[in-house]
């Protein structure tokens, strides 16, 4: 986000550390200049609070994806702990993840890793995928890190934007049919 903070030189909050699901625990920072700054409180960011409010007003949502850049990862709950969701849920989430990354690779050969957030990248509490799964009971809740694996980082070249979309669409279709 771009909100003001207690710092005179830094602004913004990492919106994917601002959800009210184990907010302020593992993988967040209280430092307003850190990339993983959690904000002053859960849902302190209007963008996060608005999306959460909308999601809670809906019934029977089957899937949720929060797209990010970068790292080429398709991640499921949990981020706040290395514990896995209940076995049946974990197996269903993992099966959809495997099918999604297979669909991605089939387009341009781009390889994505998949698994629970805390085991695939690092512990990260206050994530949207944890909140949508844990609070809204959206079984297929994911955090997806798009291209690339670090060469360009957050500044993906223009010529890779369309291929990124082309390969992600079949993965979203997998989720839609789950």
Say if CB 43 and CB 34 are below 8 A apart.
no
* Cα gap 123→13, rounded to integer Å: 18
- Residues 19, 70, 2, CA angle at the centre, nearest 5°? 50
Of 25, 45, 47, 145, the catalytic one is 145
* Cα gap 149→30, rounded to integer Å: 27
Dihedrals phi, psi of 62, to nearest 5 degrees: -95, -20
Whether 102 is catalytic: no
Q: Count the helices and strands in the chain (H runs, E runs).
A: 5, 4
Q: Known catalytic residues?
A: 145
């Amino acid at each position: 986000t771009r909100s003001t903070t207690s710092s005179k030189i830094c602004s913004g909050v990492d919106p994917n550390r601002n959800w009210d699901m184990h907010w302020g625990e593992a993988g967040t920072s209280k430092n307003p200049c850190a990339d993983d700054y959690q904000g002053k409180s859960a849902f302190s960011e209007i963008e996060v609070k608005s999306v959460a409010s909308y999601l809670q007003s809906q019934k029977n949502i089957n899937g949720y994806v929060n797209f990010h850049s970068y790292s080429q990862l398709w991640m499921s709950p949990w981020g706040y702990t290395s514990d896995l969701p209940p076995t049946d849920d974990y197996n269903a989430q993992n099966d959809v993840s495997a099918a999604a990354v297979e669909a991605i690779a089939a387009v341009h050969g781009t390889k994505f890793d998949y698994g629970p957030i805390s085991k695939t990248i690092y512990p990260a509490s206050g994530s949207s995928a944890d909140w949508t799964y844990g609070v809204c009971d959206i079984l297929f809740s994911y955090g997806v890190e798009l291209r690339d694996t670090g060469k360009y980082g957050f500044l993906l070249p223009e010529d890779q934007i369309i291929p990124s979309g082309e390969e992600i669409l079949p993965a979203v279709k997998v989720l839609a049919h789950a």
